[in-house]
Amino acid sequence: MRELERADPCLLTHGVGVAELALLMAPRLGVAGERLETLCRAALLHDIGKRFVAPEVLDKPGALLAHERQLVEAHARVGASMLVAAGLLSEASIVRHHHERWDGAGYPDRLHGDAIPLESRIILVADTFDAMTSDRAYRAAIPRAAALAEIERSAGSQLDPGCVAALRDVR
């Protein structure tokens, strides 16, 4: 966490926001006990691999070039590798898959549906909501209601419908 804060305080703030939301959603999806603790650590650290992506790429307004997209997408694999090296094996798997999409169009492994770890699916929904409702260097936050409506439109394609329902329950 200290390394993440030193690298980019916004990544730490975002991780805390995602963790708080994930912890509210998780009990509605049957995640409790030790799994909940693991989810919390993974949510806090889900973007740790972004500390190796240049700020001008992360904060770029507009579409990314192909090589820039590859750098950004690599953060899930890099973060997972960092967590494996730290002995956080369960967290590493969750972080690796936090950009997998329900329909299989995500990354890095193009998993789909229930093949994606539940904790990763929870983090993706929480991450999406927190990102949409937070100011970014390249755009202003959108209202919570608008973010929730957009997330609900993505249920069943990008996002796990059960996780979206859990978000709706807590937001």
Q: List, for residues 10-57, the tens digit of each pLDDT value.
A: 889 999 999 999 999 999 999 999 999 999 999 999 999 999 999 899
Listed residue (157, 168, 22, 154) closest to 102, CA to CA: 157
Q: Which domain holds residue 164?
A: 2-170
**60 noted as active-site residue:** no
Distances (CA, A) of 119 to 29, 83, 94, 115: 10, 16, 6, 11
For residue 5, the model assigns a pLDDT of 80
* CATH at residue 156: 1.10.3210.10
As for how many domains the chain has, the answer is 1
Per-residue pLDDT reduced to its tens digit, 60-119: 988 999 999 999 999 999 999 999 999 999 999 999 999 999 999 999 999 999 999 999
What is the number of alpha carbons within 13 Å of residue 130 lying toward its C-beta?
Answer: 23
Distances (CA, A) of 68 to 62, 91, 97, 158: 12, 26, 20, 22
CA distance 10 to 154: 26
pLDDT over 80 (residue 4): no
Pair 48, 95: CB distance under 8 Å: yes
Q: Which of 19, 40, 46, 50 is catalytic?
A: 50
Residue 153: alpha-carbon gap to chain centroid: 18
